[in-house]
Structure 1
Amino acid sequence: MQHFVYIMASRPNGAIYIGRARDLRARVEQHRAGLSVHTERYGIKTLVWFETQDGFAASLQRERALKRWRRAWKNQLIAETNPEWQDMTANIPF
C-alpha cells in the first residue's frame, strides 16, 4: 500500500514539519485546519515536498531519516524539486 513522506513549511526557509501519511490530501487538510499543535503554532500550511513509499515500514524509515538530517540538507531537498517553495497539493497523485 502506498504511503507518503512529506514536508510542510510556513514560508521559504521558515518553520517546517516532516510527516508521513497514507492519505496525504486528508493529512494536509488536517494541518491546515489546525489539528496539529506544531503546524498550528508555527503557521505551517504549505506542502512543499513529498515522495511516495511502497509501504508503512519504508515510510517510517524515510521519515525518521529526514528528521535526523541537518536543516540545510532539508532545504536543499525541497529546493531540488520545488525551488520557489510553492504549494504542491495539486501534484498529489490520486
Structure 2
Amino acid sequence: MMKQPCVYILSSNNKQSLYIGVTSQLKQRVWQHKNKQVNGFSYRYNTINLVYYEIHNVMESAISREKQLKHWKRQWKRQWKNNLITEHNKEWVDLYDQL
C-alpha cells in the first residue's frame, strides 16, 4: 500500500462533532475509525464520515496543516471548519468510498 501524507476531517452523522487527523494511509485510517479500532475522541463522538481531506507531498507539511486547522480560537473554529468542508464537499457526503 502506497503511503501519501494527508490531513483529514471526520464528521458525526449529525455534523455536530468534527475530528481532525493526519495519516500517511488515509483509506486504512478511516476504515479504523469507521470500525471503532481507534479509541479516543472519534470513538466517543462517532466521527466516522470522511468529509474532507488534503493530500500533501511530505508528512511535515501535513502535520503543519493539521496544527493550523486545530489552532483556531474555539469561537471561530467551528464556523471556519464548516466553511472549509462545505467549500469542497457541499453536501457533506462521506468520501470514503471515493478513495
Q: Tell me whether the two structures share a fold, i.e. TM-score over 0.5.
A: yes
- Most deviating of 72-81 and 8-17: 8-17
Q: Distance in 1 between matches of 2:88 and 2:39?
A: 25
2:71 equivalent to 1:64: no
Deviant stretches of 4+, over 3 Å: none
2:11 equivalent to 1:9: yes
- The aligned counterpart of 2:20 is 18
Q: Is the 8 A contact 1:9 1:46 kept in 2?
A: yes
Describe the superposition over 1:13-61 as per-residue Cα deviations: whole angstroms up to 9, x where unpaired: 4101000111000000111121232111111110000010111110110
- The aligned counterpart of 1:79 is 86
- The aligned counterpart of 2:51 is 48
Q: Is the 8 A contact 2:33 2:42 kept in 1?
A: yes
Q: Is the 8 A contact 1:19 1:63 kept in 2?
A: yes
* Aligned-residue identity in percent: 37
2:34 equivalent to 1:27: no
Size of the aligned set, in residue pairs, is 92
Q: Is the 8 A contact 1:12 1:84 kept in 2?
A: no
Q: Is the 8 A contact 1:6 1:50 kept in 2?
A: yes
Q: Unpaired segments of 5 or more residues in structure 1?
A: none
**What letter is aligned with 2:66?**
E
Describe the superposition over 1:53-86 as per-residue Cα deviations: whole angstroms up to 9, x where unpaired: 1111101100000011311100000000111110
